[in-house]
Amino acid sequence: MERTLIIVKPDGVQRGLIGEIITRFERRGMRIAALKMIQITPELAERHYAVHKGKPFYPGLINYITSGPVVVMVLEGNGAIEVARQTMGATRPAEAAPGTIRADFGLEVGRNLVHGSDGPETAAVEVALFFTEAELLSYSRDTDRWIFE
């Protein structure tokens, strides 16, 4: 099973979309391995977005992700990273496919509701930033046999 980190960003939390966003991933068949609400510190934000340091949008990105509580979760499933990214939609909501989280609820790239890991290596690093090994649960659901071959 592949794992990916998902963050419901401050706009998603403030707009009361946590449940809707989680539901979309669960309806796809993804399993929640970890879940919590936190306030991201500037130090954690800088580590999480280190790849963007020096880019013009970096300061705004750090200010935004630390502006309010977020929900962080680890999802798992076959092809979890790609499935999550398809469920979220394109980074720019105007370019996202209808039926995706960003197309249905977003208007601007700076308020696109949700973050998801973009690859296996990134996912491993991001999951470790937000969760300890003890916080990651492995379990099976009775419905898994109807979702996974």
Give Cα 107 distance to the centre of its chain: 18
Pairwise CA distance, residues 64 & 138, whole Å: 32
- Which of 82, 87, 63, 91 has the alpha carbon at shortest distance from 122? 82
Judge whether 116 and 5 are in contact, CB under 8 Å.
yes
Orientation angle between helical segments 80-88 and 18-27, nearest 10 degrees: 130
- Active-site annotation, residues: 115
